[in-house]
Protein backbone atom coordinates (compact mmCIF):
# COMPACT_ATOMS: atom_id res chain seq x y z
CA UNK A 1 0.00 0.00 0.00
CA UNK A 2 1.26 3.48 -0.84
CA UNK A 3 1.98 5.42 2.35
CA UNK A 4 1.47 9.08 3.23
CA UNK A 5 5.21 9.70 2.87
CA UNK A 6 5.18 8.15 -0.60
CA UNK A 7 2.27 10.38 -1.62
CA UNK A 8 4.21 13.45 -0.45
CA UNK A 9 7.34 12.25 -2.27
CA UNK A 10 5.40 11.74 -5.49
CA UNK A 11 3.98 15.25 -5.36
CA UNK A 12 7.47 16.67 -4.79
CA UNK A 13 8.79 14.84 -7.85
CA UNK A 14 6.04 16.19 -10.08
CA UNK A 15 6.67 19.80 -9.07
CA UNK A 16 10.40 19.40 -8.57
CA UNK A 17 11.16 22.98 -9.65
CA UNK A 18 8.93 24.52 -6.97
CA UNK A 19 10.63 23.57 -3.73
CA UNK A 20 8.96 26.60 -2.11
CA UNK A 21 5.70 24.63 -2.16
CA UNK A 22 6.94 21.66 -0.12
CA UNK A 23 5.47 22.98 3.13
CA UNK A 24 2.06 23.27 1.44
CA UNK A 25 1.87 19.62 0.39
CA UNK A 26 -0.03 18.47 3.55
CA UNK A 27 -2.66 21.16 2.90
CA UNK A 28 -2.85 20.12 -0.76
CA UNK A 29 -3.51 16.52 0.28
CA UNK A 30 -6.34 17.61 2.58
CA UNK A 31 -7.86 19.70 -0.22
CA UNK A 32 -7.54 16.76 -2.63
CA UNK A 33 -9.47 14.57 -0.17
CA UNK A 34 -12.17 17.25 0.04
CA UNK A 35 -12.35 17.26 -3.77
CA UNK A 36 -12.80 13.47 -3.78
CA UNK A 37 -15.50 13.60 -1.11
CA UNK A 38 -17.46 16.13 -3.17
CA UNK A 39 -17.80 13.95 -6.26
CA UNK A 40 -16.72 10.35 -5.61
CA UNK A 41 -19.34 7.73 -4.71
CA UNK A 42 -18.12 4.14 -5.07
CA UNK A 43 -18.55 0.86 -3.22
CA UNK A 44 -15.39 1.35 -1.16
CA UNK A 45 -17.06 4.36 0.46
CA UNK A 46 -20.15 2.46 1.60
CA UNK A 47 -20.60 1.75 5.29
CA UNK A 48 -23.32 0.60 7.65
CA UNK A 49 -24.22 1.80 11.12
CA UNK A 50 -27.09 1.82 13.58
CA UNK A 51 -28.74 5.07 14.73
CA UNK A 52 -30.65 5.18 18.02
CA UNK A 53 -33.66 7.48 17.83
CA UNK A 54 -34.79 9.94 20.50
CA UNK A 55 -38.17 11.53 19.80
CA UNK A 56 -37.82 10.47 16.17
CA UNK A 57 -34.33 11.94 15.64
CA UNK A 58 -30.80 10.61 15.67
CA UNK A 59 -27.25 11.80 14.86
CA UNK A 60 -25.57 11.00 11.57
CA UNK A 61 -22.04 9.52 11.65
CA UNK A 62 -19.16 12.01 11.73
CA UNK A 63 -17.86 10.71 8.38
CA UNK A 64 -21.29 10.87 6.67
CA UNK A 65 -21.49 12.15 3.08
CA UNK A 66 -24.79 10.85 1.68
CA UNK A 67 -27.39 8.22 2.49
CA UNK A 68 -27.96 5.16 0.35
CA UNK A 69 -30.63 3.29 2.29
CA UNK A 70 -32.37 3.67 5.65
CA UNK A 71 -34.35 0.89 7.26
CA UNK A 72 -36.37 0.93 10.46
CA UNK A 73 -35.41 -2.04 12.62
CA UNK A 74 -38.53 -2.06 14.81
CA UNK A 75 -41.44 -4.38 14.09
CA UNK A 76 -42.31 -4.61 11.26
CA UNK A 77 -38.97 -4.15 9.52
CA UNK A 78 -39.32 -1.70 6.63
CA UNK A 79 -37.48 0.58 4.27
CA UNK A 80 -38.05 4.30 4.81
CA UNK A 81 -38.59 6.70 1.91
CA UNK A 82 -37.01 10.15 1.74
CA UNK A 83 -39.26 13.18 2.29
CA UNK A 84 -38.38 16.83 1.72
CA UNK A 85 -37.91 18.60 5.11
CA UNK A 86 -40.56 21.27 4.44
CA UNK A 87 -43.10 18.72 3.23
CA UNK A 88 -42.32 16.48 6.20
CA UNK A 89 -42.96 19.19 8.78
CA UNK A 90 -46.19 20.25 7.03
CA UNK A 91 -47.50 16.72 6.63
CA UNK A 92 -46.55 15.49 10.10
CA UNK A 93 -47.00 18.19 12.75
CA UNK A 94 -44.85 18.03 15.87
CA UNK A 95 -45.93 15.24 18.18
CA UNK A 96 -47.43 12.98 15.52
CA UNK A 97 -46.26 9.55 16.62
CA UNK A 98 -46.67 6.18 14.90
CA UNK A 99 -44.67 3.69 12.87
CA UNK A 100 -42.39 5.79 10.67
CA UNK A 101 -42.58 5.49 6.89
CA UNK A 102 -40.40 8.45 5.89
CA UNK A 103 -37.22 10.21 6.88
CA UNK A 104 -35.46 13.47 6.14
CA UNK A 105 -32.01 14.93 6.80
CA UNK A 106 -31.66 18.23 8.64
CA UNK A 107 -28.07 19.32 9.27
CA UNK A 108 -26.31 16.37 10.90
CA UNK A 109 -29.54 14.75 12.06
CA UNK A 110 -31.89 12.17 10.53
CA UNK A 111 -35.56 12.59 11.46
CA UNK A 112 -38.36 10.06 11.02
CA UNK A 113 -42.01 10.72 10.13
CA UNK A 114 -44.29 10.00 11.84
CA UNK A 115 -42.10 10.37 14.95
CA UNK A 116 -40.78 6.95 15.88
CA UNK A 117 -38.56 5.36 18.49
CA UNK A 118 -36.17 2.46 18.26
CA UNK A 119 -33.24 2.25 15.86
CA UNK A 120 -32.44 2.79 12.20
CA UNK A 121 -30.08 0.79 10.01
CA UNK A 122 -28.22 3.31 7.86
CA UNK A 123 -26.28 2.43 4.71
CA UNK A 124 -24.33 5.49 3.63
CA UNK A 125 -21.33 6.88 1.78
CA UNK A 126 -18.53 7.80 4.15
CA UNK A 127 -15.66 10.20 3.64
CA UNK A 128 -12.35 9.00 2.25
CA UNK A 129 -10.25 8.02 5.29
CA UNK A 130 -7.83 10.97 5.65
CA UNK A 131 -4.13 10.38 5.21
CA UNK A 132 -1.61 11.53 7.78
CA UNK A 133 1.86 10.65 8.97
CA UNK A 134 0.34 8.16 11.39
CA UNK A 135 -1.75 6.38 8.74
CA UNK A 136 -0.12 3.83 6.46
CA UNK A 137 -2.52 4.50 3.58
CA UNK A 138 -6.14 3.96 2.58
CA UNK A 139 -8.17 2.30 -0.14
CA UNK A 140 -7.65 5.24 -2.56
CA UNK A 141 -3.86 4.99 -2.40
CA UNK A 142 -4.24 1.27 -3.02
CA UNK A 143 -6.76 1.47 -5.88
CA UNK A 144 -6.09 4.80 -7.61
CA UNK A 145 -2.99 6.65 -6.39
CA UNK A 146 -3.45 9.17 -9.21
CA UNK A 147 -6.41 10.75 -7.45
CA UNK A 148 -4.12 11.84 -4.64
CA UNK A 149 -1.21 12.78 -6.86
CA UNK A 150 -3.10 14.77 -9.49
CA UNK A 151 -5.64 16.09 -7.00
CA UNK A 152 -2.93 17.56 -4.77
CA UNK A 153 -1.09 18.97 -7.79
CA UNK A 154 -4.30 20.66 -8.92
CA UNK A 155 -4.65 22.29 -5.51
CA UNK A 156 -1.08 23.56 -5.79
CA UNK A 157 -1.68 24.78 -9.34
CA UNK A 158 -2.83 28.19 -8.09
CA UNK A 159 0.88 28.92 -7.68
CA UNK A 160 1.72 27.88 -11.27
CA UNK A 161 0.96 30.83 -13.55
CA UNK A 162 0.37 29.90 -17.21
CA UNK A 163 1.98 26.51 -16.69
CA UNK A 164 1.04 23.84 -19.24
CA UNK A 165 1.36 21.18 -16.57
CA UNK A 166 -1.84 22.39 -14.91
CA UNK A 167 -3.96 21.30 -17.89
CA UNK A 168 -2.20 17.94 -17.90
CA UNK A 169 -2.83 17.42 -14.19
CA UNK A 170 -6.50 18.26 -14.60
CA UNK A 171 -6.85 15.83 -17.49
CA UNK A 172 -5.11 13.05 -15.58
CA UNK A 173 -7.21 13.66 -12.47
CA UNK A 174 -10.45 13.49 -14.45
CA UNK A 175 -9.29 10.30 -16.17
CA UNK A 176 -8.39 8.66 -12.83
CA UNK A 177 -11.78 9.61 -11.42
CA UNK A 178 -13.66 8.20 -14.43
CA UNK A 179 -11.62 4.98 -14.37
CA UNK A 180 -12.40 4.39 -10.71
CA UNK A 181 -16.09 5.16 -11.19
CA UNK A 182 -16.19 2.95 -14.27
CA UNK A 183 -14.63 -0.01 -12.48
CA UNK A 184 -17.17 0.44 -9.68
CA UNK A 185 -20.09 0.27 -12.14
CA UNK A 186 -18.59 -2.82 -13.74
CA UNK A 187 -18.10 -4.52 -10.37
CA UNK A 188 -21.68 -3.79 -9.32
CA UNK A 189 -23.58 -4.62 -12.50
CA UNK A 190 -21.43 -6.67 -14.89
CA UNK A 191 -23.03 -9.97 -13.86
CA UNK A 192 -26.59 -8.71 -13.53
CA UNK A 193 -29.02 -10.03 -16.11
CA UNK A 194 -31.76 -7.97 -17.70
CA UNK A 195 -35.22 -9.02 -16.54
CA UNK A 196 -38.20 -8.57 -18.86
CA UNK A 197 -41.62 -8.18 -17.31
CA UNK A 198 -44.49 -10.26 -18.57
CA UNK A 199 -44.94 -13.80 -19.80
CA UNK A 200 -41.85 -15.38 -21.28
CA UNK A 201 -42.62 -16.66 -24.81
Structural domain boundaries, residue 23:
4-40+129-188
> What average pLDDT does this structure show over 140-149?
96
Query: What is the tens place of the pLDDT at every residue in 67-109?
Result: 999 999 887 888 999 999 999 888 887 766 778 899 999 999 9
Residue 165 CB partners (closer than 8 Å, separation 6+):
14, 15, 153, 157
> What average pLDDT does this structure show over 126-135?
92
% pLDDT > 90, the chain: 72
Q: What is the mean pLDDT of the chain?
A: 90
Confidence label for 140 from pLDDT (cuts 50, 70 and 90):
very high
The answer to the question of residue 198 being in a domain is no
Residues 59 and 112 in one domain: yes
The total number of structural domains that make up the chain? 2
Amino acid sequence: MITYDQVCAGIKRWCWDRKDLVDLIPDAILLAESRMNDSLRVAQMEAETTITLTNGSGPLPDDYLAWRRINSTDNPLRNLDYLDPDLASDTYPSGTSYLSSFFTIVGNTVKTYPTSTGTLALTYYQQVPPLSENVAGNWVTRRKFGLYLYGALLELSVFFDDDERVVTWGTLYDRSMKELQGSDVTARYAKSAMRIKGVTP
